[in-house]
Structure formats: C-alpha cells, structure tokens
Amino acid sequence: MNQQTNEPRYDVIAIGNAIVDVMAPCSEELLDELGLNKGGMTLVDAARAEELYSAMGPAREISGGSAANTLAGLSALGAQCAFIGQVADDQLGAVFAHDIRAVGIDFDTPARQEEPSTARCLIFVTPDAQRTMNTFLGASQFLPPSTLDAEAVAAAKILYLEGYLWDPEEPRAAMRRAIEAARAAGRKVAFTLSEVFVIERHGDDFRALIDDGLIDILFANHLELAALTGEDTLEAGIAALRDKVPTLVVTRSSDGAVAVHDGARAEVPAEPIDKVVDTTGAGDLFAAGFLYGYVRDEPLETCLRRGAIAACEIISHYGARTEADLTRLMDEKLG
C-alpha cells in the first residue's frame, strides 16, 4: 500500500520555532525607554536579549513559538499532532520539550549540543493588552534538513509551516524538503505568513510557492495580505490570491475573519469579549480552531467560528496557551 492511501497518523504536523516565551507587564514609558517597537516583533541578538531581560519586571516563562502554539490549541481540542523544531541541550530546551510533550504533542527532534542557546521571546505587555515581542532565535535557526522526519510529514493530513522560520537558511531548506514529502504523499500544505517584516524579506519566495501551487491553505492577517499582494484593500488582496490558493484565510483583528475555499466565501465577526488582556497568540489559536474544523470537513463558516472562539479565549488572559476547556467552550458557542 502506498503512502497516499495510508490512514494518516496525525491531523497536523508543524515545523516552527521552538521558543520559550518570557512575558511581563510593562508601562508605555518602559517601552519608550528601551526603544521598542510597540505591538511588533523584533529579532534581537544574545546581548540585546540579556539587556531586555534585565529590564523586565517579574515574568512568566511559557513554552511558545507560533506553530507550537497552534499545535497546542489543536491538541487541546483532541487533534493528533507532531512538532518539528530545534532546541539546545539546555534548561530552556528541556522546558520546551517537556511542555510540548505534556500537552500530547509528539516531539522527537534531537536537542542541539552546540551554541547558541534555546530561543526565547521576551514579551512586554502594556496596559492596553498590546504585546511587544523581542525574539532571540538561538538554536531554532539551526534546524538542519537531515533531522526532518519525512515519514512523519507524509503521515499527517496537513503540514503546517511557520513563516517566521523561513528566514534562516537551514530551516528554510528543511521546510522545502517537508513540502516535497507532503506533496508526494498527497497531503495538504498550510502556511502562515507570520509578520509583515517576514514578507518584506521573503515575499518573492512565498509568491513563488503560491504560484507553483504548493500552498493549499494560507493564513494571513489583513496587513500581511496587503504586503504579500501589494493591494491596498482587503477585497483586492483576496481577489489577487483566491484563484491561486485553494483555501485563503484572512483575519482582521476586531473586525473578524474571512475565508475563501474553492470559490466559496464565508465571513464571521470577532467573538465578543469583556476585556482584552493580552493579544499574544491570537493568530496562532485562530489557526488552531480553523484547522480543527478543516480536518473534520466542517463547513467553512464553522471553521472560521472555531478560529474566532479560540482566538477570543487566548486574548482573555496572559500567554499563548489555552486556560479554558476549548472543547466545551466551542460546544457551548456552536450549539
């Protein structure tokens, strides 16, 4: 029996940055004092990471990384998931490996013995719930193609790729190899654009992947859509991609989300919330909810609703890992 007819072992396998989030509340004044780009994500070196960590108040350490957050949400809903990402053989690497396995996600990438240390994201959260992220990518940049488990990729319904990890050369090569393995096995490839600055650096690569028909599901927020397509309006951006990507999902923060799948379109508002505490991981958990519905062949609108519900839960508290029972929450809201 060939791989295409094998029953998938996983719903989703993801390749992404293996990062430990270090989160702390802060004032607007501290952001200014440190010269931070409020609401954005900035890559920093080891020295800058140490400087920012020293300036933080009391912090919480939570395993993170965009794709890993998405898998954690999927696992909480009962999906079978696996993660491919690089940590170092250090304390934070052990924390990440323990945390991701503890939520039921398979993680077998060997820890790296050499420097640099495990990646960390220093997140400053202002009173308006905006998160300002400063990421030291560390060991996560050194995921070699040789560690890729092509059989595991072929055994998943969906290969989910994190745009952030496209920047370093080794992980980019690993992801290209993973796309080949997934396509050869007849599986779907999902891609999240991650951030505008990633598109500014690698937009030509992303557009080539799309033009070559290698992306089945594309996640973008409205700013990323504009950066990728060069179109100023949401509708023009959607029009530019709808015939190139079988499933296009665009989130619009408090304005909800829209998706186009094989010509059909659905749109949902954002879920109501009393207070936004921290927007970290909102897009990651939206993807988790959407993909959970997608692998179960649910209607497009239901997939979007699941995404909106998951995103709403995550922004109601600190951190990008769920605290509520997502399954029960969705059952209540979806009826």
Mean pLDDT by 10 residues, the chain (335 residues): 63 96 93 93 91 93 91 97 97 93 96 94 91 92 93 97 93 97 98 95 97 98 98 97 97 96 94 87 96 98 98 88 92 92
What is the pLDDT at residue 330?
96
What burial letters (b/e) apply to 192-228, b meaning 16+ CB within 10 Å? bbbbbbbbeebbeebbebbeeeebbbbbbbbebbbbb
Residue 162 forms beta bridges with which residues?
192
Q: Closest by alpha carbon to 283, among 163, 172, 201?
A: 163
What pLDDT does residue 235 have? Answer: 97
CATH of domain 10-18+65-116+141-334: 3.40.1190.20
Q: Residue 67: what residue type? A: A
Task: Give the global pTM.
Answer: 0.90
pLDDT at 3: 38
Q: What is the pLDDT of residue 4?
A: 46
Distance CA 279, CA 303 (A): 21
Task: Give the contacts of 245 (CB within 8 A, at least 6 positions apart).
Answer: 210, 215, 216, 217, 218
Structural domain spans, the chain: 10-18+65-116+141-334
pLDDT for 61: 85
pLDDT at residue 2, rounded to an integer: 34
